[in-house]
A and B are shown apart, each in its own frame.
Chain A
């Protein structure tokens, strides 16, 4: 069962939102509706995030991604469609039920941190537990633990304004972790940070994710960030989800010109993995000396093929051989061209030449 499932979700602001949804379903465009005085922020969005997955929603400002994430925990009520968190349908809940769901199952990290300036770092991190009615000692202990996870042990008694932006966002992350919910929503969580800190935070998030395996819905406008941390990515444009797939899938087959234009800025060497560039093991071939994991990024493969001309064996987590990676394949993928790769080579060629 998916941890988060969204079906046919609409959000329309303005007068007569229900009528607007009916018009959209009949095929009216968002521009037509704007002329009629209503703004369609999210149009017919459907996706599901599996437990333990980082699902990234990527889109430019105004694409409706912030509206979408706010419907996942009911901060905004959907105009039409359904949102399920585990086996609970959000649209069925009364305000009280919604509060209980937020307290127990779904937490959020905000773009501008949204910390309480009049409380200490520890009290901020304990906020979710305080709302839940956990006693002071227990919740502060849990908050300290969460702060230790994000490397802020020494800062528990400080006020948020004494911390740098990156550290404040760590507090925001600790606050969400201390809530111990299975679903975590991150709204442009690293967008307000400078690039170096942003990278550090991404690494930390990935490491925490390896430990706790939460379901994370992450919103960003930065495709590189999406490619770096996302298990799967949904690209949004003008309120619609135009493409969903793994980073590798989207890079090889953008689907439309809009997505393809974004890809120009993407660092291919970090997104492509061994499994994206491998070719099937020729029948009867002698296995090569070195083996790599299927998820090894291209940046590391370059080091391997630079040392030896022998092809590399690609193995999955269980040690099964999936295929081989040749020096040519690595260099071709790096150059942005395509190599001769049986059936999906045509695809790749099209996508990368576009």
Chain B
């Protein structure tokens, strides 16, 4: 059989084959040889954290924990959402997928925390500095458009098969929207309002904490929501490299051609995804009505409610 490389080169009019893949290989080998202790440390920390988190999530009996999550949904959103969540989560338990679901959730939570911890400061830096922005943007483009499966290979070479490469690929895959939306949110803050901060003598730190971050809040929360959603999809793909959880169940179903099991695992992922999406998106919009949280906030200050009524009747009328 003729050499494929040579054939391709001839077909392209004699352009030399650039061995980009070889260089990448060499680069990764060099990293592996020289930074092995670092990777080991990352490995240990990640594994400890995710395993610990999984244990915590599994401390309570599934039914009780599902009820607790439903109450969280009630506080954040509405009765309908709480009832729906409870039904969905109980379905996961009855499909006997509770343990893998919690493993996936633990992986996802850890990856999200790390992603957000990287994404928000990076997004702020990009919003403040055009050079950082110009540098970060192509890297994010690369991270987002590179097929997700390609991340699995180097992650395995560094961390071996198992949970850790799954976490690492999830972080890399989920990071970009967090950075982008943080940058966008801060850049969108009204210039005059930031100017007002300067005009009254605020320090850049006071302006960031008191004006920019609060006004960018809903956009940043939308970014975190996206981080979680992308993270969940990657956490399932990571099942291919032995990250366990629902992804592991999906991989098993593929290898056994077990349609029923695959569907069940997929449904559990969907339930988890919808729950997390609705829950986190409700944090982005503090002013939305409904939900026990806003109801309680109103109860706490009766004077405020009175004023609301007054405002409703006399709104938009100038006080002379």
Contacts and interface: CB of A to CB of B under 8 A. Distances in A.
Interface string B282-316: 00001000000000000001011001001100011
Contacts of B206: 131
A19 B59 CA distance: 72
B214 A162 contact: no
B201 to A, nearest CB: 3
Nearest to A105: B201
Contact of A116 (B193, B310, B315, B320): B193
A132 B319 contact: no
B168 to A, nearest CB: 36
A274 B151 CA distance: 84
A99 B201 CA distance: 4
Nearest to A201: B318
Interface in A148-186: 151-152, 154-155, 157-158, 162, 164, 166-167, 170, 175, 179, 185
A261 interface: no
A118 interface: yes
Contacts of A162: 311, 315
A162 B318 CA distance: 12
A215 to B, nearest CB: 16
Contacts of B192: 110-112, 114
Contacts of B193: 114-116
Contacts of A175: 200
A190 interface: no
Give the size range of A's interface with the partner: 35 or more
B143 interface: no
B23 to A, nearest CB: 40
Given A73-B199, A131-B200, A167 B190 contact: no
B196 A99 contact: no
A151 B319 contact: yes
A112 B211 CA distance: 16
B97 interface: no
A132 B190 contact: no
Contact of B202 (A101, A131, A151): A131
B17 interface: no
A324 to B, nearest CB: 38
A155 B314 CA distance: 11
A112 B317 CA distance: 18
A302 interface: no
Contacts of A99: 201-203
A197 B203 CA distance: 34
A199 B301 CA distance: 36
A103 B200 contact: yes
A346 interface: no
Interface in A52-95: 70, 73, 75
A244 B280 CA distance: 58
A230 to B, nearest CB: 22
A81 B206 CA distance: 30
Given A151-B319, A164-B318, A200-B318, A114 B198 contact: no
A154 B315 CA distance: 12
B318 A166 contact: yes
A200 B199 contact: no
Interface in A90-137: 99-104, 107-108, 110-112, 114-118, 127-128, 130-132
Nearest to B198: A75
Q: From B196, B304, B316, name the one whose CB has the most chain A CB atoms within 10 angstroms.
A: B196
B311 A158 contact: yes
Nearest to A124: B196
Contacts of B202: 99, 131
A157 B303 contact: yes
Contacts of A70: 195
A108 B318 contact: no
A101 B307 CA distance: 38
B69 interface: no
A181 B303 CA distance: 33
Given A102-B198, A110-B195, A117 B215 contact: yes
A110 B190 CA distance: 12
B121 to A, nearest CB: 22
Contacts of B201: 99-104, 128, 131-132
A187 to B, nearest CB: 9
Nearest to A162: B311
B196 A114 contact: yes
A151 B320 contact: yes
A97 to B, nearest CB: 11
Nearest to A156: B307
A75 B199 contact: yes
Contacts of A115: 193
Interface in B157-173: none
A312 B162 CA distance: 100
A110 to B, nearest CB: 5
A236 to B, nearest CB: 20
Nearest to A130: B210
B146 to A, nearest CB: 38
Given A117-B215, A118-B286, 13 more contacts: A102-B201, A103-B201, A108-B196, A111-B192, A112-B190, A115-B193, A116-B193, A116-B214, A128-B201, A131-B206, A151-B320, A152-B319, A158-B307
Interface of A: 70, 73, 75, 99-104, 107-108, 110-112, 114-118, 127-128, 130-132, 151-152, 154-155, 157-158, 162, 164, 166-167, 170, 175, 179, 185, 197, 200
28 contacts: A73-B199, A75-B199, A100-B201, A101-B201, A102-B198, A108-B199, A108-B200, A110-B195, A114-B190, A114-B196, A115-B193, A116-B193, A116-B210, A117-B215, A127-B200, A128-B201, A131-B201, A131-B202, A131-B206, A152-B319, A154-B319, A157-B301, A157-B303, A157-B307, A164-B315, A164-B318, A166-B318, A185-B199
